[in-house]
Structure 1
Amino acid sequence: MYRFLLSPRWLGALALTLVAAAVMVFLGNWQLDRYRGRTEVNERIDAGQRMAPAPLPDALRAPTGGAGTTGPAPADDKVWTRVTVTGRYDPTNTVLVRGRTVDSRVGFEVLTPLVLPDGTALLIDRGWIPPAPGGATAQPTVPAAPTGDVTVVGRVHETESGAGAVARRDGRLEIRRIGVSRLAAELPYPVYGAYLLLDEQTPSADPVFKAVPVGHTNNWQNFGYVVQWWLFAVMSLFGYGWVARREARRAAGIGVDPGPLDRAAEPTPSASA
């Protein structure tokens, strides 16, 4: 019944089905890797919120180059680590990160370099503030940074991709996304290869700042894609088998409707019969 499967047409169909199923399994495995990676990120975010702050060197290596250079990026397992560091803010090089949304409002995140005793600097995201009246791009009034020694507790945040160019407006640096290396090129000291998302500081931060929320990655979306691609692979193989079985039954005359009987084609019985 199934000898037709050895014909070139059916062998070609089988090859295409197997290739399609293999591609779908590969895509499912790729999404599974993304699910696992995003799950690890979420676990690090949760662990960072609970952990006691560690010294900065436990999470980030200091820059060793000259002014305008950056240090090494943090290892993956150090991102979102909660650390503590003491230094002095340099408000003359405050950076405004425009187009940032908190509580459905568009405003600015404020980054101020914290200069450490060894002359290196770490960018501190002090929080979000609304724009000045006049629109979402109107430069805000930035609360003054504390003077003297400041102890900061925050979470390590890796540099953002797609930062674009750094602009200067009314004497302040502005950028759309936080690209540490691009910002470091505008600063007069070596800069750590990540920035710190402020949780608390001593002296206390100005209450005008709103804490920047840390969103979890949507790992369950990737898990849904895993199930979807693997189901498609199973369905493609099942579909090939179903079509082949239907063809075999048709060739064997199983389940084939013979159609209505043509009575007119039958011989008419003789009168003597």
Structure 2
Amino acid sequence: MYRFLLTPRWLGILALTVAASVVMVMLGNWQLSRYEQRSAINERIDAAGRLDPVPLTEVLAAPGGGAGTAGPAPHRDAAWTRVTVTGRYDSTNVVLVRARSVESRVGFEIVVPLVLADGTAVLVDRGWVPPAPGGAAAQPEVPPAPEGEVTIVGRVHLSESQPGTIGRRDGRIETRRIAVPELAAELPYPTYGAYLLVDEQTPAADAAFVPIPIRHENNWQNGGYVVQWWLFAGMALVGYGYVARREAHARSGKRRPRGDRLEAPAVAPPAAATRD
């Protein structure tokens, strides 16, 4: 009944079905790995908020090069770790990061180098401010950085991977992305390979700054894709079985011998009534 499945045509269909199912299972496995990675990031974000900050040098390797160089980028597991560091803001090298959105409003993130006692520096994202009247690209009013020693408690943020164009406007560095190696090249000292988002500052940060929110990764989206791809793989195999079964029944019906047509037996007419 199912011998036709061994024909070249049906063997080819089976091979394509299996190959498609394997690919879809592999895509599901990849999405599963993304789900696990994003879940781990969310766990680090939550855990960091409950832990005491540690010294910066326990998380980030000190830059070993000269002026204008960046230190080694930390492992991704270092992201969102709370650290503390003390230094002095370099207000002559303020970085305006344009076109950044907070709560659906477009403005600027203000990044300032914090120069440490050993002459190295770490970039500190002080927060978000709105643009000046005149449009989203209008340079904002930036509250001055406090003078003297400043102690920062912040979260480690990895360098953004896509460098933007870096320029200067009115004596300030302006860019679209916080790409640490590219920004370090504009500075007169070696810089750590990641930057910090301010959680706390002593003396206190200006109230004009809006803290940069730390968004959790959308790991459930990847979880949904896992289920989707695995379902597609199963449906492909079930679909092959369904089509093969229909074909088998169709072939069986064509081969079924047709029985002789039975005719009703002739019934003799009733005898005519005779008259006496």
TM-score range (shorter-chain normalised) is over 0.9
Aligned to 1:115: 115
Q: Which amino acid aligns with 2:167?
A: A
Q: Could you list the runs of 5+ residues in structure 1 that have no partner in the other structure?
A: none
Q: Could you list the runs of 5+ residues in structure 2 that have no partner in the other structure?
A: 270-276
Aligned to 1:129: 129
CA distance in 2, matches of 1:58, 1:77: 13
Aligned to 1:202: 202
CA distance in 1, matches of 2:74, 2:51: 18
Aligned to 2:93: 93
Aligned to 1:253: 253
CA distance in 1, matches of 2:21, 2:207: 57
Aligned to 1:233: 233
Per-residue CA distance 1:229-261 (angstroms, 9 max, x = gap): 00000000000000001111111119x9x9xxx
Query: 1:163 offset after TM fit, Å?
Result: 2.2
Whether 1:139 aligns to 2:139 is: yes
Aligned to 1:175: 175
CA distance in 1, matches of 2:43, 2:177: 24
CA RMSD of aligned residues (A): 2.0
Per-residue CA distance 1:81-117 (angstroms, 9 max, x = gap): 0000000000100100000111211100000000000
Runs of 4+ in 1 over 3 A off after TM superposition: none
CA contact (8 A) 1:165 1:182 kept: no
Query: 1:170 offset after TM fit, Å?
Result: 1.2
> Secondary structure of 2:13's match?
helix
The alignment covers a number of residue pairs equal to 264
Query: 1:48 offset after TM fit, Å?
Result: 1.6
Q: Which amino acid aligns with 1:143?
A: P
CA distance in 2, matches of 1:199, 1:246: 65
Whether 1:56 aligns to 2:37 is: no
Aligned to 1:80: 80
Per-residue CA distance 1:109-159 (angstroms, 9 max, x = gap): 000000000100000000000111111110011111011110000000000
> Secondary structure of 1:80's match?
coil
Per-residue CA distance 1:156-193 (angstroms, 9 max, x = gap): 00001212221111111001010001100000000000
Q: Comparing 160-169 with 147-156, which one deviates more in the overlay? A: 160-169
CA distance in 1, matches of 2:226, 2:73: 31
Aligned to 2:38: 38
Aligned to 2:220: 220
Max Rg structure: 2
Give the TM-score normalised by structure 2.
0.92
